[in-house]
Structure 1
Amino acid sequence: MVKEQRGASDPARTLELLWRMPGGASGREDSRRGPKQGLTVDAVVQAAVELADSAGLDALTMRNIAQRLGVTPMTLYTYVPGKAELLDLMLDFVYLRMPRGDRAAAPWREKVEAVARENRDLYDRHPWVATMSTARPPLGPGLMAKYEHELAAFDGLGLDDVEMDAALTLLLDFVRSVAHATLDTKAATRDSALSDAQWWEANEPLLAKVFDPARFPLAARVGSAAGAAHQGMYDPGHAFTFGLHRILDGLAHLMDRPR
Structure 2
Amino acid sequence: MSSTSPEAARNEAHAQLVRALELLWNGHTPAGRGPKPGLTVETIVDVAITVADADGVDALSMRRIARELGVGTMTLYRYVPDKNVLLALVLDRILAPSGPSPQGPRTWRATLESDAWSGRELYLRHPWLLQVNMSRPTLGPGSVAGLEQTMAGLRDLPMSDKEKINVVTAVDGFVTGAVRQQVYYEQIAEESGLDDQAFWGAQLPFMEAAMQSGEYPVMATLGADAFDGTWEATFEVGLNCLLDGLELRAEQRR
- Is the CA contact (8 Å cut-off) linking 2:107 and 2:156 kept in structure 1? no
Question: What's 2:26 paired with?
Answer: 20
Structure 1 residues 138 and 213, CA gap change in structure 2 (3 angstroms): farther
Q: Which residue identity is paired with 2:146? A: K
- Residue-pair matches, total: 241
For structure 1, the 5+ residue unaligned runs are: 1-6, 23-29
Question: What's 2:237 paired with?
Answer: 242
Q: Distance in 1 between matches of 2:116 and 2:199?
A: 31
Q: Distance in 2 between matches of 1:248 and 1:175?
A: 13
Quote how far apart the aligned CAs of 1:254 are: 1.0
Q: Which has the higher helix share?
A: 2
1:225-240 alignment to 2 at 5 Å? Answer: 225-227=225-227, 229-230=228-229, 235-240=230-235
Q: Distance in 2 between matches of 1:32 and 1:210?
A: 69
Structure 1 residues 223 and 15, CA gap change in structure 2 (3 angstroms): farther
Question: What's 2:118 paired with?
Answer: 118
- Please tell me whether residue 175 in structure 1 is matched to residue 175 in structure 2: yes
Structure 2 length-normalised TM: 0.84
Deviation string for 1:114-163 (max 9, x for gaps)?
Answer: 11112112112222112211121011111111111112222122111111
For structure 2, the 5+ residue unaligned runs are: 1-11
* Aligned-pair identity (%): 36
1:1-259 alignment to 2 at 5 Å? Answer: 8=13, 10-22=16-28, 30-31=29-30, 37-102=37-102, 104-209=104-209, 213-222=213-222, 225-227=225-227, 229-230=228-229, 235-258=230-253
Q: Distance in 2 between matches of 1:82 and 1:92?
A: 16
Structure 1 residues 114 and 97, CA gap change in structure 2 (3 angstroms): closer
Q: Distance in 2 between matches of 1:143 and 1:153?
A: 16
Q: Which is worse superposed, 214-223 or 87-96?
A: 214-223
Q: Distance in 1 between matches of 2:158 and 2:87?
A: 37
Q: Which residue identity is paired with 2:125? A: R
Structure 1 length-normalised TM: 0.83
Question: Superposition RMSD on alpha carbons, in Å?
Answer: 2.5
